[in-house]
């Protein structure tokens, strides 16, 4: 039962990590971390095999208990992988985000998956551009459509004409850049995921 409880915790943290950080992970890294997926898979497997462990104990079957012990060893390794992956990715964020977010802004077209990710980040964190909204002035999208509407402080008070003029846009869009906000947000939350993975792993030992 104790192992099944840890399985539920891992599953919950994995789902939370995927839902909360999915957009940021896909935007920050081309080869993104699989830590949330590892936790979801491991948590689900622990819950299922926890029932097998209870059954093996009730039956008093040596070979079934040995199989369960071997399974627990594999689970421990999976949790270590998730924890290490989380910590490694956490320290790579600042190195990769500047490059990948710059590329995303340069290739922004409002339609593809990465462009949607940029919009989600700018809307959810109330930020615009990398260091500031002026970073959009070098994007090919700006020359045709102006700054994306996801930068607007108030969408009802934002029109394409305003967003094409940097001087007017300065009063309509969020002033903060996304770089510091995203890296801080990701470092904190990936640290939580990695910490939970390590904590559960060693409590199981």
Displacement of CA 20 from its chain's centroid (Å): 6
**Above pLDDT 90, what percent of the chain?**
0
- Res. 7 pLDDT band, cuts 50 70 90: confident
More confident: 143 or 82: 143
Judging by beta carbons within 10 Å of its beta carbon (0-12, 13-18, 19+), is residue 19 exposed, middle or buried? exposed
Residue 56, pLDDT > 80, answer no
* pLDDT for res 156: 79
* pLDDT for res 67: 83
Rounded to an integer, the average pLDDT of 52-59 is 77
Rounded to an integer, the average pLDDT of 172-179 is 87
Rounded to an integer, the average pLDDT of 34-51 is 74
- Residue 184 CA to residue 87 CA, distance in Å, equals 14
- Residue 79 CA to residue 130 CA, distance in Å, equals 34
Unique residue bearing structure tokens 């081309």: 30
Instruction: For residue range 130-147, list pLDDT tens digits in order.
Output: 888 888 988 888 888 888
Three-state DSSP state, 173: strand
More confident: 39 or 184: 184
Can you list the domains of the chain with their CATH numbers? 90-204 (1.10.1450.10)
What are the residues whose beta carbons fall under 8 Å from the beta carbon of 161, sequence distance 6 or more? 146
Bridge partners of 173, per DSSP, are: 152
- Res. 34 pLDDT band, cuts 50 70 90: low
Nearest to 27 by CA among 104, 91, 87, 86: 104
pTM: 0.65
- Residue 148 CA to residue 113 CA, distance in Å, equals 15
Question: Quick one: residue 176, left, alpha or beta (phi over 0 = left, psi -120 to 50 = alpha)?
Answer: beta
Judging by beta carbons within 10 Å of its beta carbon (0-12, 13-18, 19+), is residue 190 exposed, middle or buried? buried
* pLDDT for res 29: 57
């Amino acid at each position: 039962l104790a192992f099944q409880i840890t399985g539920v915790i891992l599953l919950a943290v994995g789902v939370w990590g995927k839902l909360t950080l999915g957009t940021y992970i896909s935007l920050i890294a081309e080869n993104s971390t699989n830590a949330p997926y590892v936790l979801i898979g491991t948590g689900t497997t622990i819950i299922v095999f926890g029932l097998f462990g209870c059954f093996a104990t009730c039956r008093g079957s040596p070979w079934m208990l040995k199989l369960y012990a071997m399974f627990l060893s594999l689970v421990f390794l999976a949790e270590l992988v998730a924890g290490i992956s989380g910590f490694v990715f956490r320290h790579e964020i600042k190195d990769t985000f500047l490059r990948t977010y710059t590329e995303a802004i340069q290739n922004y077209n409002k339609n593809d998956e990465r462009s949607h990710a940029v919009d989600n980040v700018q809307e959810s964190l109330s930020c615009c551009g990398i260091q500031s909204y002026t970073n959009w002035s070098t994007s090919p999208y700006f020359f045709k459509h102006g700054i994306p509407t996801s930068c607007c402080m108030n969408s009802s008070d934002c029109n394409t004409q305003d967003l094409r003029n940097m001087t007017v846009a300065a009063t309509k869009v969020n002033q903060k850049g996304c770089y510091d906000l995203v890296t801080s947000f990701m470092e904190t939350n990936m640290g939580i995921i990695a910490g939970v993975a390590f904590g559960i792993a060693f409590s199981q030992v």
